[in-house]
Amino acid sequence: MNEKTQQFVETMKKNAANLQAPDYYGEFGETLDKPSHQPDVERTPPRTLKPLLDDTVVIDVQESGSEKVKGAVSVNPKNYDWLIGQKQENHYVVVDDQPGESRAEVVAQHMISRNFPFVTILEGGISAWKDAGFATEAR
């Protein structure tokens, strides 16, 4: 291997080491990485959300689970086509079933990065909602 080829290989190895695999791919081939520069998304406790349900779009991003917040829209958290047609001025609360709401965090940060300014996460996820005794329905 000549010197130029060796330098090229070393440069490519360094570049490859800095690459991160995307979390998700959109239907149109876009990579949907978790924005690392975004601060944590605000959490909304169940008791705060309950009286605001009529004016809030609840987005359910659970991958498993049999129940969701009553009236919530279940979406595939790996594909953001459901955002098409959504109004940016609406208030959104993202609900997850994972400890720490990590899937909800990714979806909420993606929404914020797409100029949806009014997005929060249901604190404690669907478990906290059910523990508070609030209505659910089948997913």
pTM above 0.75, yes or no: no
How would you class 94 by CB atoms within 10 Å of its CB: exposed for 0-12, middle for 13-18, buried for 19 or more?
Answer: buried
Q: For 5-18, write each residue's pLDDT tens digit.
A: 566 555 555 544 54
Render pLDDT for 75-112 as a digit per residue (tens, 0 to 9): 998 889 999 999 999 999 999 997 778 899 999 999 99
List, in sequence order, every residue forming a beta bridge with 32; answer none if it has no partner.
24
Q: What is the DSSP letter of 17?
A: H
Angle among Cα 103, 107, 110 to the nearest 5 degrees reads 140
Higher pLDDT, 6 or 56: 56
Under the banding of pLDDT at 50, 70 and 90, the label for residue 37 is very low
b (16+ CB within 10 A) / e for 26-60: eeeeeebebeeeeeebebbebeebeeebeebbbbb
Domain 35-138 coded CATH 3.40.250.10: yes
Contacts 24+ apart (CB under 8 A), 101-105: 101/43, 101/125, 103/61, 103/62, 103/63, 103/77, 104/41, 104/61, 105/34, 105/40, 105/41
